[in-house]
């Protein structure tokens, strides 16, 4: 008889296997049929994060090349997909505090409160890394693990990206490396993905400590937007930031030149998954941040959960930020705009 | 006609190498026609000197085996064995045969920048000047051309060697060869004068420059009579043959063998033995000048060959000592070599000259 | 069928009337053109020396290609050297043979995915390959025998494997595992991670520095004992350095380093500086700054302030494309070949990945691209004019022009030259006086640093000794000590003593290597033979201790691979007395030889100031009067417990350098004796630190079976870990930068002593006579693979 | 302590007498050695130096002891060892001697003692392709050309090196006992986070990990501690990093 020394670990365990709607197909084929091909997919990449085989993005779509040979048919993708069984969330959600803030330390878009939240969490020791999306030379997003506050001096990390980033696969990596916890920033769909992962797997529950959501109306695929901008004559090597304000898309170049056009023009390249998204304020996050609802130069912070509250208290204590009044009612227009998309879900689901 | 042949035979027969040991054999020779004449011709002293000793045969064999002796001896002094595996029960004695045959059969490359005719001529011509001085060197009593000015002639002919080395370097038209050639030219001036003065000191001492007479006048060997001149002559010989510590012109590690860096195949083979040729001649000269030439206790039955034997033994002794320097000394720098040649050696050579004069004076008194 | 170049040689050999004679003669007269390209050359030297005596087989080493008929390619042929190999091969008369010895020349050996190597078989036809790294002399002689047999017509591999069928079975198909290497995503690269250390002088020093550098620095951190990191801005870099130089007595640069951090869009440039004053000796100040990661990043050079940074800056310009403004050598490449990839050490240049399984379609041989020039095809065996031009070594046109103006003679020496090693010197001389020497190194640059940042920490242990296999233990020790410092591991006492014994034996070996090559350059083969005979004894001890002659890879983080038996220790003590006896003879015939003394005395003089300015290290620095020996200044292992003296001198000439090392040999022998006595008084076993063994504590006296299990996932804490070690030829500096998460280092900077000494050779030989250049060169014990890394 | 222990070395200063003396010494050594040489040459190939048993030469392989743990392949600094699937679907090592650097890290990583060192080191290959040695050829000791009739050992007698020659052939392979057994076993530390991908079961070469779907939609994972060799492949491959090696205590 042999026994393992040390109580850590067990040699027998059980795993719940999710059900397959299409019995004779693999789980990925199920996912493909139910989510990806019906344009429900938000490209949050929760599936790619958990998949031991190799779900990835091909073009603008989530795909699994050679899934016939490489798919292990474990069902993890289906288990974690927030839209496999889609329960759309909307509205402003519950919150503990609704304030406007402006970081004293960071100068970013609006109040730079996203940065401030994560950095403060890093300084508190709540997390040992925050995940940020950065830009590479070609303006595509790349994930960045911020382990020390000073690293945020890198200019490409600040600012909204308006293109999808592979946040969750990076989160999976980060969870493997972390010792204290991970903080993450993401759009509402990504927040949903994180919550789903946390719901299913303890390892994420234990290690993802702070989830900051962003106010989001819609998002673009990198391929589409880059093509679009190039057609508008934007030189990527000079582009330093993009903004959407007051119905306008503004691209700022390093020499100060600005390229502006109406948001209507870009509407046709909005990612398909955004068409069914009803969540504007990232209802499931620990704290949501956005510019709407506060004065210029400030960010609106919707503190929803205890961890975020602690961080905000820390910021207040250290006086890293100015705080002001925020107006929840200013969000209503966009909340409702997105809530209106509920009808797309049904029609899409019906069409499939 | 017959008269001429008879006179010729007379000349030949009157100047035969006498070897008592093979006399009975020679007596039986007349039964075979012509062979008698041929043997007689071979044993005719000038021809014997030219073809056997100190000429082609012994000289050639020296070239073939002396490098082996040198390599074996140096190897021994260096805690190793030297050439060995080729016929290992004889200790690799035919190593040089293999090397020279390999060179013979190998491609001779004439590179683009070389002066083609001279590049090819010089190695072959250089072998000729090895043969010329041999005509005047007596082995014991056997000599090809006997002249009272033999020593001077030999010295003059030996001086041709550096010219050929200069020729190699010039014809090679390469940077390293150029530097090596210049060094050779410098060294030539450094050793030649003390070297000749040392030889002249001995000529004065013996009162003759006929090698045979010199040998007979060395009841006390010259090296004891005039050790200073002997030393100068020996160092001069080391310099002339480019031995350590004076391997300055063709220093392998600095100039990739200097003047002969571009040579390959048999052309290199001939150059490779050049310093052994020169070494052989200078050792022979040293034997004559300082070690009594072929004189030595007569060995019964060998007759004239007894002198040849002692001559060869002494020459080889000098040659071995000369070449063993390789195992003992590193290389001098050019300016040090020149300084050595121009100051201490010149002074010593003049001292040697003075000693000779003193010895002559004492003898006269 | 087309006749290959290889067949042609055999055809030539087998044609004509004299075939048997020709074959016989060629067989016994294979003169190898010793193509001493890299470390296998050490074993070639041993084969040529009295231990094995290659001359027995008629195989006389010949440095000149025209007269040789056999090339032994000793190890790596880099892109820069490839051309030289082809030229030498073309220069040799037919028939000619080529043996490639050492794994580097076959499928690349440990350097298989280096960016700078080629395969000799792509360049010249190869007759035999001899495996090993390095080969043993026996292997080399077996290769010679194989060629001899080939000439006789028996062309065979000399090993015959027996084929045994594997057991059949019906197991299930298994998934092949993925790579064990873990690369952290967007790693955090810090060189100034603070660490609490008990170092009173350091705290004072930091205070002092802060006062002196007021307003110039961004931060000053103590990162380890004796290590201080000073962060500054690119604009203030020069001013900071000048202040340090003027007020603190900082007088030399130990290392220059660039770290590429692509995800943060920056390069970090660091200068490790120190001073040869008594209190500053063990301290290393790291001045670092960050510059943007553009196509042509720029920073001001410090070479005008500290000459010792000059060559390192030029090297880093090759590696990263960083322009050091003010350094004159920023045009063209210094260490790399023209056809090596540009800026290869940037992180976006990727090396070939390892394969762990054999699958169909994946080639066995690594993808090494042959050099770009085209050898003529066998149908038209002569070169066209353009091909010939392509084959030529690049000439220094401007140097030639200037020399012509000044009526100087220019000689290009090397890279294949019997007295240059594999390094090219452009020597300008006027008459017999050297005006200037321009070095062209990099002929053995095998991209150690790039490879090291793509391998596991433990896999780098064999790698670190490859630059200098004549002194492998000290090279290893430096790397391993850097890891141990980082992890804070205390090595067991017994292991420390054994390490000291081996380090000193290795030092003795390296000195005897230098003392063997030096006579060779002086034309004194006896000195070479005697010295290598003694070295052969040292290698005999090495092989008994570790199982390998030259590349033991025996020192691992936390200790040594296995304990050493008492029999071997007894043997070690006996050998030390034998070394003394033979050394006496060596001294009498060579070192005290008046000819040699006259060659060395007052030749290549470097005064104390010059020596420090050039940044030379080790016994050569001590010979110029600087009393700096790492073993004394910052004692490691058990050097502070043993009774010995470091040597110093003040003449600074070749004589001082040689006699200093001769004395060090005697001191090392003394250390070995004392350490052997101490080890024998200790209980056996326990030579690996239990801290590092973790679950595998039972393996503490012999790691056999668990090396990978213990060390595979070794991760260093984040930060920069710098170790300085006194290797035989001077201070070897390893600087490992870890991100704290990957099990491969982020960057490894290796500054070998020979690289630092290169500048000294140039300075010392200026104004000397031409022949003295080789005296100076050899007196510095220059070992090109070590310098080029 | 630092400066005191520095020894100043001064090179010799020669006058004429010293010059003559040292000349005599140098010539003396050369003469003495040519008469009584201290030859240190091993006459390879006719004799061979006896290497110690721990010499690092060519590598042999015993498939019975191999646990297919890939450690040899992972640790190989030159990537010379690559695993090949055998007929019984297990992975066994192959060695490419065109890359092998004979560091024997593989042997030191082989906990089963399946890889063994020989003393073969003098081999010349005709072509590079033959340098790749498949598993089948690593099992038995290969034959090499041997011309040696004696073997030589270095010995110290009277404080000097002597070569002791013995008639006979030196053996090329010596069997060493397998390394100490340190049994480890894989366990799951966070069963809740298992995604049920069964990579661990797939990668396990010994079938020690079983995964069976029970009705009711649960997957039962089981690690058989008796079969588990503790190779750690499953631990390494687990994408959720929920497996761990633990020390095993056998009773």
A touches D (3+ CB pairs < 8 Å)?
yes
In a domain, B25, yes or no: no
Residues A102, A226 within the same domain: no
Contacts of D213 in chain A (CB under 8 A): 17
Q: What is the pLDDT of residue D3?
A: 46
**Residue A352 confidence (pLDDT) above 50:** no
Between D27, D39, D46, which is nearest B328 by CB?
D27
3-state DSSP call for residue C74?
strand
Neighbouring residues of B57: CB distance < 8 A, sequence distance ≥ 6: B51
In a domain? residue A325: yes
Give Cα C476 distance to the centre of its chain: 11
How many other CB atoms sit within 10 Å of the CB of residue C490? 11
A20 in D contact zone (CB under 8 Å): no
Given C299, C325, C351, the domain boundary residue is: C325
**A252 in any annotated domain:** yes
* H or E element, residue C578: helix C566-586
* CATH number, domain D52-140: 3.30.70.3270
Query: Is residue B200 a part of any domain in this protein?
Result: yes
> What residues of chain B lie within 8 A of the CB of C772, using their CB?
333
For residue D1, pLDDT beyond 70: no
Q: Do chains B and A touch (3 or more CB pairs under 8 A)?
A: no
How far apart CA C646 and CA C667 sit, in angstroms, is 8
Among candidates C351, C293, C347, which has minimal Cα distance to C322? C293
pLDDT at A349 over 50: no
Query: Are residues A173 and A41 both part of a single domain?
Result: no
Least CB-CB distance to C596: which of B80, B264, B330?
B330
Domain count, chain B: 1
pTM assigned to the model:
0.88
Chain D interface with B: residues with Cβ < 8 Å: 26-27, 30-31, 33-34, 37-41, 43, 46
CA distances from B75 to B84, B327, B328, C58, C413 (A): 11, 9, 12, 13, 30
Report the 10 Å Cβ neighbour count for C196.
6
The reply to whether residue C649 touches residue D11, judged by beta carbons under 8 angstroms, is yes
Residues A54 and A179 in one domain: no
Contact with chain B for residue C47, Cβ under 8 A: no
Encoded tokens for C550: 């030259």
Tell me which residue in B79, B268, B335 faces C66 most closely, judged by beta carbons.
B268
Mark the ranges of chain C whose per-residue pLDDT is less than 50. 1
Å from D15 to nearest chain B CA?
15
Residues A287, A203 share a domain: yes
Instruction: State the CATH number of the domain containing residue C207.
Output: 3.30.460.80
Q: Hey, what are D55's tokens?
A: 């010499």
Q: Are residues A167 and A301 in the same domain?
A: yes
**Neighbouring C-alpha atoms within 13 Å toward the C-beta of C167:** 11
What percentage of residues in chain D have a pLDDT greater than 70?
96
- Residue C172 placed within a domain: no
Q: Which residues contact B133 (CB under 8 A, 6 or more apart)?
A: B153, B154, B157, B158, B281
**Domain(s) of CATH 3.30.70.3270: residues in chain D:** 52-140
Residue of C393 and B208 predicted with greater confidence:
B208
Residue B356 in this model has a pLDDT that exceeds 70: yes
Structurally, chain C folds into a number of domains equal to: 4
What is the domain extent for residue A70?
Answer: 27-80
Query: Which residue of chain A is at minimal alpha-carbon distance from C739?
Result: A147
| Residue of B73, B77, B244 to mutate, testing the D interface (most D Cβ within 10 Å of its Cβ) | B77
Could you tell me which of C424, C466, C428 has the C-alpha nearest to residue C441? Answer: C424
Interface residue A153 vs chain D (CB under 8 A): no
Q: Which CATH number fits domain D184-247: 3.30.70.20, 3.90.420.10, 3.20.20.220, 2.10.109.10?
A: 3.30.70.20
Is residue C641 packed enough to be buried (19+ CB in 10 Å), middle (13-18) or exposed (0-12)? middle
Give a yes or no: residue A87 inside a domain.
no
**Domain's final residue, options C325, C354, C376:** C325
CB hemisphere CA count around B169 (13 angstroms): 24
Q: Looking at beta carbons, which residues of chain D come within 8 Å of A203?
A: 190, 192-193, 240-242
On whether residue A182 sits in a domain, the answer given is yes
Residue B343, in any domain of the structure: yes
Going by beta carbons, is chain B in contact with chain D, meaning 3 or more pairs sit under 8 Å apart?
Answer: yes
Q: Which residue of B has its CA nearest to C587?
A: B328
Residue C354 lies in a domain: no
Is there a single domain that holds both residue C657 and residue C737? yes
User: pLDDT at position C424, please?
Assistant: 84
Last residue of one domain, picked from the residues C440, C466, C501: C440
Domain that holds residue C591: 448-788
Which chain B residue has the Cα nearest residue D26? B328
| Chain A residues touching C184 at Cβ < 8 A | 145, 177
What are the tens digits of pLDDT across the range A251-266?
777 777 777 777 777 7
Clarify whether residues C576 and C717 are in a common domain: yes
Rounded to whole angstroms, the Cα distance separating C147 from A224 reads 65
pLDDT tens digits, residue range B137-156? 887 777 777 788 888 888 88
pLDDT at B323 over 80: yes
Interchain contact C741–A (C-beta under 8 A): yes
Residue D34 has its nearest CB partner, among B77, B81, B88, at B77
Which helix H or strand E contains B304, and what residues bound it?
Answer: helix B304-328
In a domain, A53, yes or no: yes
pLDDT at A272 over 80: no
**Domain limits at B139?**
44-364
The total domain count for chain A is: 3
Return the pLDDT at C106. 84
Q: Is residue A198 part of a domain?
A: yes
> Cβ–Cβ of D125/C462 closer than 8 Å?
no
Domain contains A57 = yes
Interface test with D, best of A12, A69, A206 (most D CBs within 10 A): A12
Task: Report the percent of chain B where pLDDT is more than 90.
Answer: 0
pLDDT at D160: 82
Check B76 against D43: CB less than 8 A apart. Answer: no
* C543 has a chain A CB within 8 A of its CB: no
Determine contact: A156 vs chain C, CB below 8 A.
yes
Domain match, A198 and A185 both: yes
Cβ-Cβ contacts under 8 Å for B295 (sequence gap 6 or more): B140, B215, B216, B218, B307, B310
Contact call for C522 and B92, based on CB within 8 A: no
Cβ <8 Å between D90 and C174: yes
As a whole number, mean pLDDT of residues B252-280 equals 82
Is A200 among the domain residues? yes
Which one of A143, A148, A174 has the shortest CB-CB distance to C188?
A148
Rounded-to-integer distance, Cα C181 and Cα C455, Å: 7
**What is the band of A3 on the pLDDT scale with cuts at 50, 70, 90?**
very low
Evaluate whether B221 touches B206 at the Cβ level (below 8 Å). Answer: no
Q: What is the CATH number of the domain that holds C105?
A: 3.40.50.12280
Looking at residue D202, its pLDDT comes to: 83
Cβ of A16 within 8 Å of Cβ of D218? The answer is: yes
| Contact check, Cβ <8 Å, D78/C112 | yes
Taking the Cβ of residue B84 and every Cβ of chain C, the question of whether any pair is shorter than 8 Å is answered with: yes
Q: Are residues C424 and C470 in the same domain?
A: no
Contact list, D243 vs chain A (CB under 8 Å): 9
Residue ranges of chain D that CATH labels 3.30.70.20? 184-247
Domain identity same for C274 and C320: yes
CATH number, position A106: 3.40.640
Determine the residue of chain D that is closest to C121 in CA distance. D128
Q: How far is C654 from chain B (nearest CA, A)?
A: 14
Residue C12, both tokens: 């030539």
Query: How large is the average pLDDT for residues B67-86?
Result: 85
Instruction: Check CB contact under 8 Å for A4 and D192.
Output: no
Among C592, C708, C779, most D C-beta atoms within 10 A, so best to mutate, is C708
Residue C389 within a domain: no
Cβ pairs C/D, distance under 8 A: 418
Examine the domain organization and report whether C420 and C550 are in the same domain.
no
Domain match, A245 and A205 both:
no
Closest Cα in chain C to B263: C66
Q: How far apart are CA A132 and CA C440, in angstroms?
A: 46
Euclidean distance between CA atoms C577 and C574, whole angstroms: 6
Instruction: Give the separation between CA B217 and CA B205, rounded to whole angstroms.
Output: 10
* Contact (Cβ atoms closer than 8 angstroms) between residue B139 and residue C374: no
In chain C, residues with a C-beta closer than 8 Å to the C-beta of B244 are: 523-524
Short-list B324, B361, B305, CA closest to B58:
B305
Nearest residue of C to residue B328, measured between CA atoms:
C589
Q: Tell me the C-alpha distance between C572 and C550, whole Å.
A: 17
């Amino acid at each position: 008889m042999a026994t393992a020394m040390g109580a850590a670990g067990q040699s027998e365990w059980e795993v719940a296997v999710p059900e397959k709607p299409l019995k004779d197909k693999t789980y990925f084929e199920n996912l493909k049929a139910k989510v990806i091909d019906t344009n429900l997919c938000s490209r949050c990449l929760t599936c790619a994060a958990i998949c031991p085989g190799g779900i990835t993005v091909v073009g603008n779509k989530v795909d699994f090349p050679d899934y016939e040979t490489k798919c292990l048919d474990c069902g993890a993708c289906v288990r974690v997909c927030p839209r496999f069984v889609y329960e759309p969330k909307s509205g402003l959600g519950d919150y503990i505090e609704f304030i406007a803030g402006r970081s004293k330390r960071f100068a970013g878009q609006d109040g730079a409160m996203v940065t401030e939240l994560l950095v403060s969490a890093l300084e508190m020791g709540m997390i040992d890394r925050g995940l940020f999306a950065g830009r590479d030379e070609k303006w595509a997003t790349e994930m960045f693990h911020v382990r020390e506050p000073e690293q945020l001096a890198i200019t490409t990390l600040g600012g909204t990206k308006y293109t999808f980033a592979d946040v969750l696969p990076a989160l999976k990596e980060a969870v493997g490396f972390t010792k204290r916890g991970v903080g993450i920033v993401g759009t509402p769909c990504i927040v949903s993905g994180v919550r789903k992962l946390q719901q299913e797997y303890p390892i994420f529950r234990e290690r993802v400590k702070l989830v900051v959501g962003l106010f989001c109306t819609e998002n673009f695929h990198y391929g589409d937007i880059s093509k679009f901008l190039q057609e508008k004559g934007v030189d990527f090597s000079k582009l330093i930031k993009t903004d959407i304000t007051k119905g306008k898309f503004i691209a700022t170049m390093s020499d100060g030149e600005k390229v502006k056009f109406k948001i209507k023009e870009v509407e046709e390249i909005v990612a398909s998954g955004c068409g069914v998204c009803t969540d504007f304020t990232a209802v499931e996050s620990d704290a949501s941040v956005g510019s709407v609802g506060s004065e210029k130069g400030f960010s609106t912070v919707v503190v929803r959960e205890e961890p975020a509250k602690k961080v905000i208290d820390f910021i207040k204590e250290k006086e890293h930020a100015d705080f002001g009044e925020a107006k929840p009612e200013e969000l209503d227009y966009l909340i409702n705009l997105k809530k209106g998309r509920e009808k797309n879900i049904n029609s899409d689901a019906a069409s499939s | 006609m017959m008269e001429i042949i008879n006179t010729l035979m007379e000349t030949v027969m009157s100047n035969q190498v006498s070897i008592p040991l093979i006399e009975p054999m020679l007596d039986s020779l007349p039964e075979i026609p012509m062979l008698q004449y041929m043997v007689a011709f071979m044993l005719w002293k000038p021809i014997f000197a030219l073809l056997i000793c100190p000429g082609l045969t012994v000289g050639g064999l020296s070239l073939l085996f002396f490098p082996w002796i040198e390599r074996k001896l140096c190897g021994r002094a260096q805690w190793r064995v030297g050439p060995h595996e080729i016929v290992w029960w004889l200790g690799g004695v035919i190593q040089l045969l293999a090397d020279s045959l390999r060179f013979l059969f190998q491609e001779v490359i004439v590179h683009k920048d070389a002066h083609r005719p001279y590049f090819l001529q010089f190695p072959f011509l250089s072998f000729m000047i090895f043969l010329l001085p041999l005509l005047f060197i007596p082995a014991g009593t056997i000599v090809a051309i006997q002249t009272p000015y033999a020593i001077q002639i030999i010295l003059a002919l030996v001086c041709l060697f550096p010219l050929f080395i200069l020729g190699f370097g010039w014809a090679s038209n390469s940077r390293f060869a150029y530097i090596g050639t210049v060094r050779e030219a410098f060294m030539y001036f450094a050793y030649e004068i003390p070297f000749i003065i040392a030889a002249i000191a001995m000529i004065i001492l013996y009162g003759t420059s006929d090698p045979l007479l010199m040998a007979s006048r060395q009841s006390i060997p010259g090296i004891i009579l005039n050790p200073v001149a002997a030393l100068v002559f020996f160092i001069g010989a080391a310099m002339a043959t480019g031995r350590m510590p004076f391997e300055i012109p063709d220093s392998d590690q600095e100039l990739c063998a200097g003047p002969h860096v571009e040579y390959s195949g048999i052309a290199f083979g001939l150059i490779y033995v050049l310093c052994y040729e020169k070494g052989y001649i200078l050792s022979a000269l040293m034997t004559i000048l300082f070690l009594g030439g072929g004189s030595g206790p007569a060995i019964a039955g060998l007759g004239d060959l007894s002198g040849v034997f002692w001559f060869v033994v002494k020459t080889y002794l000098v040659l071995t000592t000369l070449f063993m320097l390789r195992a003992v000394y590193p290389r001098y720098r050019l300016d040090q070599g020149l300084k050595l040649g121009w100051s201490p050696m010149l002074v010593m050579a003049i001292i040697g000259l003075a000693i000779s004069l003193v010895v002559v004076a004492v003898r006269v008194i | 069928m087309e006749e290959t170049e290889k067949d042609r040689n055999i055809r030539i050999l087998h044609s004509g009337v004299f075939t048997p004679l020709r074959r016989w003669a060629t067989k016994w007269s294979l003169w190898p053109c010793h193509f001493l390209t890299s470390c296998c050359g050490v074993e070639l030297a041993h084969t040529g020396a009295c231990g094995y005596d290659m001359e027995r087989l008629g195989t006389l080493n010949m440095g000149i290609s025209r007269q040789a008929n056999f090339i032994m390619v000793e190890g790596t042929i880099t892109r820069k050297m490839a051309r030289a190999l082809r030229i030498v091969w073309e220069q040799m008369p037919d028939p000619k043979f080529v043996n490639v010895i050492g794994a580097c020349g076959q499928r690349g050996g440990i350097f298989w995915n280096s960016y700078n190597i080629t395969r000799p078989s792509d360049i010249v036809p190869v007759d035999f390959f001899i495996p090993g790294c390095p080969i043993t002399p026996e292997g080399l002689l077996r290769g010679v025998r194989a060629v001899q047999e080939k000439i006789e017509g028996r062309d065979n591999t000399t090993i015959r494997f027996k084929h045994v069928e594997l057991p059949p079975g019906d197991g299930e198909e298994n998934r092949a595992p993925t790579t064990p290497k873990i690369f952290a995503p967007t790693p955090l690269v810090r060189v100034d991670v603070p660490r609490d250390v008990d170092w009173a002088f350091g705290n004072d020093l930091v205070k002092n520095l802060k006062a002196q550098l007021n307003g110039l620095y961004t931060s000053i951190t103590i990162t380890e004992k004796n290590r201080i990191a000073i962060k500054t801005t690119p604009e203030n870099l020069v001013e900071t350095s000048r202040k340090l130089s003027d007020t603190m007595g900082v007088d030399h640069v130990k290392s220059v380093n660039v770290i590429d951090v692509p995800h943060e869009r920056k390069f970090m440039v660091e200068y490790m500086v120190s001073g040869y004053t008594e209190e500053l000796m063990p301290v290393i100040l790291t001045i670092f700054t960050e510059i943007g990661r553009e196509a042509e990043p720029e920073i001001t050079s410090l070479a005008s302030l500290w000459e010792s940074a000059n060559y390192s800056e030029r090297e880093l310009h090759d590696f990263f494309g960083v322009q050091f403004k003010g350094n004159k050598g920023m045009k063209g490449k210094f260490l790399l070949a023209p056809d090596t990839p540009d800026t290869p050490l940037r992180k976006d240049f990727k090396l070939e990945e390892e394969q762990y399984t054999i699958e169909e379609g994946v080639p066995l041989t690594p993808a090494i691209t042959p050099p770009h020039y085209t050898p003529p095809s066998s149908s038209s065996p002569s070169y066209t004019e353009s091909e010939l031009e392509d084959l030529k070594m690049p000439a220094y046109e401007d140097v030639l022009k200037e020399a012509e103006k000044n009526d100087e003679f220019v000689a290009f020496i090397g890279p294949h030259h019997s007295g240059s090693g594999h390094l090219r010197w452009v020597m300008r001389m006027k008459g017999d006086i050297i005006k200037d020497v321009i070095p062209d190194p990099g002929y053995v640059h095998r991209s150690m640093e790039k490879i090291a940042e793509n391998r596991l920490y433990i896999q780098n242990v064999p790698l670190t000794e490859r630059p200098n296999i004549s002194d492998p233990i000290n090279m290893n020790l430096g790397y391993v000590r850097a890891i141990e410092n980082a992890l804070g591991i205390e090595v067991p006492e017994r292991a420390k003593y054994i390490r000291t014994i081996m380090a000193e034996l290795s030092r003795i070996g390296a000195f005897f290597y230098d003392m063997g090559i030096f006579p060779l350059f002086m034309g004194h083969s006896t000195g070479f033979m005697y010295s290598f005979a003694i070295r052969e004894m040292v290698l005999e001890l090495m092989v008994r201790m570790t199982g390998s002659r030259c590349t033991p890879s025996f020192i691992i983080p936390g200790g040594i691979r296995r304990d050493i038996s008492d029999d071997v220790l007894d043997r070690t003590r006996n050998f030390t007395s034998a070394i003394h006896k033979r050394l006496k003879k060596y001294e009498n015939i060579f070192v005290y030889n008046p000819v040699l003394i006259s060659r060395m005395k007052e030749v290549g003089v470097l005064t104390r100031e010059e020596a420090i300015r050039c940044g030379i290290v080790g016994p050569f620095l001590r010979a110029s009067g600087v009393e700096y020996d790492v073993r004394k200044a910052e004692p490691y292992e058990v050097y502070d417990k043993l009774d010995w003296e470091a040597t110093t001198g003040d003449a600074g000439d070749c004589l001082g350098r040689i006699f200093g090392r001769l004395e060090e040999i005697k001191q090392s022998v003394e250390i070995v004796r004392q350490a052997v006595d101490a080890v024998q008084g200790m209980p056996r076993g326990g030579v690996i630190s239990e801290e590092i063994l973790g679950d595998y504590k039972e393996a503490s006296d012999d790691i056999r079976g668990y090396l990978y299990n213990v060390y595979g996932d070794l991760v260093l804490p984040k930060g920069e870990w710098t170790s300085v070690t006194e290797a035989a030829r001077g201070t070897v500096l390893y600087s490992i930068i870890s991100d704290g998460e990957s099990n491969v280092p982020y960057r490894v900077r290796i500054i070998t002593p020979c690289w630092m000494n290169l500048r000294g050779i140039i300075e010392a030989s200026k104004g000397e006579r031409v022949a003295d250049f080789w005296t100076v060169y050899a007196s510095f014990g220059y070992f090109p693979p070590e310098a080029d890394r | 302590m630092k400066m005191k222990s520095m020894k100043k070395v001064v090179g010799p200063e020669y006058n004429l007498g010293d010059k003559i003396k040292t000349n005599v010494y140098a010539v003396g050594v050369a003469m003495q050695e040519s008469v009584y040489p201290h030859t240190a040459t091993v006459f390879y190939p006719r004799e061979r130096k006896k290497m110690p048993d721990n010499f690092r030469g060519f590598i042999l392989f015993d498939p019975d002891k191999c646990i297919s743990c890939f450690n040899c392949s992972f640790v190989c600094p030159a990537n010379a060892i690559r695993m090949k699937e055998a007929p019984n679907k297990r992975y066994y090592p192959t060695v490419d001697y065109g890359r092998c650097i004979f560091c024997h890290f593989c042997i030191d990583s082989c906990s089963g003692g399946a890889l063994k060192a020989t003393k073969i080191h003098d081999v010349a290959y005709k072509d590079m392709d033959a340098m790749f040695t498949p598993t089948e050829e690593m099992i038995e000791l290969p034959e090499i050309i041997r011309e040696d009739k004696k073997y030589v050992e270095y010995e110290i007698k009277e404080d000097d090196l002597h070569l002791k020659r013995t008639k006979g052939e030196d053996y090329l392979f010596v069997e060493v006992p397998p390394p100490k057994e340190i049994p480890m076993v894989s366990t799951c530390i966070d069963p809740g986070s298992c995604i049920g991908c069964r990579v661990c079961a797939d990668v396990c070469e010994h079938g020690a990990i079983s995964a069976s779907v029970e009705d009711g939609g649960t997957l039962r994972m089981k690690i058989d501690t008796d079969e588990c060799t503790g190779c750690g492949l499953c631990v390494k491959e687990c994408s959720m990093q929920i497996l761990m090696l633990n020390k095993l205590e056998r009773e």
